[in-house]
Every structure is written in structure tokens, then in C-alpha cells.
Amino acid sequence: MQIGVLLSGKGSNLQAIIDAVKDGSLPVKIALVLSDRPDAFGLKRAEKAGVKARYIPPGPYRTILSREAEKEYVKALKKAGVELVCLAGFMRVIKEGLLSAFPGRILNLHPSLLPSFPGLEAWKQAFDYGVRFTGCTVHFVEKGVDTGPIISQAVVPILPDDTPETLLNRIHQKEHLIYPLAIKLVAEGRIKIIGRRVIIKEKGERP
């Protein structure tokens, strides 16, 4: 399966995907990396790994791609032969253009245990709320923000001496484990959705 990765920043989850592909544990090809920021370090990570990468201007809006930009993203992904789109710290809400171009084939990684704490700075929301546990979630993307069917989650305890920064660092460690595994499940055709529930089939099990 050929995947495309969309990012806005450092690209640590892109690096986790690159490493998993390199060591043979993730049977996909990264066909293209796109960023809405020209200075995103994730572009350099892709370059270093020999992965095709480019910046596409997002348009004038802060939280979404403009319609024109969205068309450019879809065009670039389709041209690269992308079958599955993986958001890795892409700080834009995905709208109808991308959703209809890749129906049921866009994944996102969110730094909380959804449905708790959707939206921005989810780890800080959890920290400020005073919960004892938070974590991260890989889910399918749909029209709502952070509302799609959940593939996998990992729990991270909030320690007495934590700060939002130390908590986020530990969440990242879990993200780097569960995202490649979730992508692998999709690539191997082992995901079945019934209502909102994601059923993971055994390897080799028929649909």
C-alpha cells in the first residue's frame, strides 16, 4: 500500500513511520509527504530518508485549507498513487474535498484518549483538567473534529511531578508505537467497521 503523510511541524511521527518501513515491520511505501508550512522539519526528515516531499501553500485560513489548496493536495496525492492518507501533526481540519477523494482512507493521531479532550493542545487540556490518565488515539477521519472510529489507543499516566511538556513527551513515545501498528492493520486489510466500532481481524481471516 502506498501512503501519503501530511504534517505541519517536526515530523517525529513521520520518523516513526519511516523507521518502521525501513526495519520491515510496516509493509507500506511512503509515496509522498506534504506540509502546509515551508519550514516544517518533517520535510527535512523525508528528504533525508529519500522520500518525495513538498510544501503546498494552505491558503489564507488558519485552521483549514482553502478550496484551491485542497484541490492541490488531492491532485498531488493522487498523482503519487497514494491509497491511504496519514495525518501526522497536520494542523488543519480536513474538509469535504479530501474526505471525498479518500473516503474512509484518512487516519489521524490525536494526543488524548478520545472522545475526551478533542481539539487543540489535548495533552494540556487533560493536564489542566486534573485527570489521572490520558494518552493517544489513532482514528479514522470524518466530518467532525476528532470524532472518527477509533483504531487503537495507548494510556499514559499523569505523574505528580509532570508538566504539560513532560507529559507530551511521554505521549509522543506511545504515539510512535501505535501509529505504525494502526497503519499496518489498515494496509493488511484487517480493519472492519461496524457502526462506530472498529473490529480487528486476525491475520488471514476472511472479510
Q: Which residues, in sequence order, are CB contacts of 6 under 8 Å at separation 6+?
A: 33, 34, 35, 36, 73, 85, 86, 87, 88, 90
- What's the CATH code of the domain at 179? 3.40.50.170
DSSP code, position 37: S
Contact 184, 25 (CB under 8 A): yes
pTM equals 0.95
Domain hosting residue 183, numbered range: 109-139+148-207
State the amino acid at position 166 in one-letter form: T
pLDDT tens for each residue of the chain, 207 residues long: 999 999 999 999 999 999 999 999 999 999 999 999 999 999 999 999 999 999 999 999 999 999 999 999 999 999 999 999 999 999 999 999 999 999 999 999 999 999 999 999 999 999 999 999 999 999 999 999 999 999 999 999 999 999 999 999 999 999 999 999 999 999 999 999 998 999 999 876 665
Residue 110 falls in the annotated catalytic set? yes
| Number of compact structural domains in the chain | 2
Alpha-helix residue ranges (DSSP H) falling in 49-112: 67-79, 96-101
CA-to-CA distance for 17 and 26, rounded, in angstroms? Answer: 8
Whether residues 125 and 99 share a domain: the answer is no
Whether residues 130 and 82 share a domain: the answer is no
Catalytic residue among 110, 139, 172, 176: 110
Helix, coil or strand: residue 79:
helix
Whether residues 96 and 1 share a domain: the answer is yes
> Phi-psi category of 17—alpha, beta or left, where left has phi over 0 and alpha has psi -120 to 50?
alpha
Contact 139, 191 (CB under 8 A): no
Whether residues 54 and 117 share a domain: the answer is no
